[in-house]
Amino acid sequence: MKNPVPQAASLLLEKLLLLVHVRPLPAGSGGEGYYDTSCFKRGDLLEVPRTLFIHFGIYLGENRVAHLMPDILPAFTGDRRQIQQVVTNKRLILGVITKTASIRVDTVEDFAYGGSILVNHMDRLFEDQVLGSEEAARRAEKLVGATAYSLLWNNCEHFVTYCRYGAPVSFQTDKFCETVKMIIRDQRSVLASVLVGLASIVCLGLAPSTTLPTIFIPFFLWMAG
């Protein structure tokens, strides 16, 4: 059986990097007209599934999508031409570190980065909370510009759920936190067993009856965690 704790830690690190979009948008990715935007309506919530995360945006019409990305540049300049340029990894990572971001408008092609697009897929989770399409689009447009960034409290999913459902929530964040709790819980179980074993060695002396459990109990907890 594979060790789930190191695997979970590895996945946690990968998801952390991917959730903050450590992958720049390339100029002209996918090519103009790569997506059929005729099936999109103003105010639609667009999802682009990735390997370990989902990126979200609000369709504004005319091949434009509003979405939130970490970005350091808006903290230093208000020049829209500079800000609208491709977000490099350096800009993005510094944005995560300094907790700054921008809600920007890009083409569908640049937003999706060649991935498949789901439309209003989250509506099923909110039932009667769906706002009007025009209201959702107007909320997104009103928020365009510099904003604070937080992986846990203000990411791209918080942005779109506020616009379309009136409540900023992030299911990805919830899953992320559960993964963290699982790792901490498993690490504590292993640590506790090690401490008990060491205490037994100190009190009862170095012997197979005390040493072996100290070695094997943490091992099996690690394997079964």
Which residue from 115, 125, 128 is spatially nearest to 57, judged by alpha carbons? Answer: 115
Q: Residue written as tokens 């179980």?
A: 189
* Residue partners of 167: CB distance under 8 A and separation at least 6: 129, 161
DSSP assignment, residue 131?
P
Phi, psi dihedrals of residue 52, rounded to the nearest 5°: -125, 10
Tell me if residue 156 is catalytic: yes
Q: Residue written as tokens 């948008």?
A: 25
Distance of CA 50 to the CA centre of its chain: 10
**HEC per residue, 53-68:** CEEEEEEEECCEEEEE
CA distance 142 to 182: 38
Q: Residue written as tokens 């999913």?
A: 157
Residue 225 amino acid letter:
G
CA distance 128 to 40: 21
Residue of 39, 156, 177, 203 with catalytic role: 156
Residues with catalytic function:
156
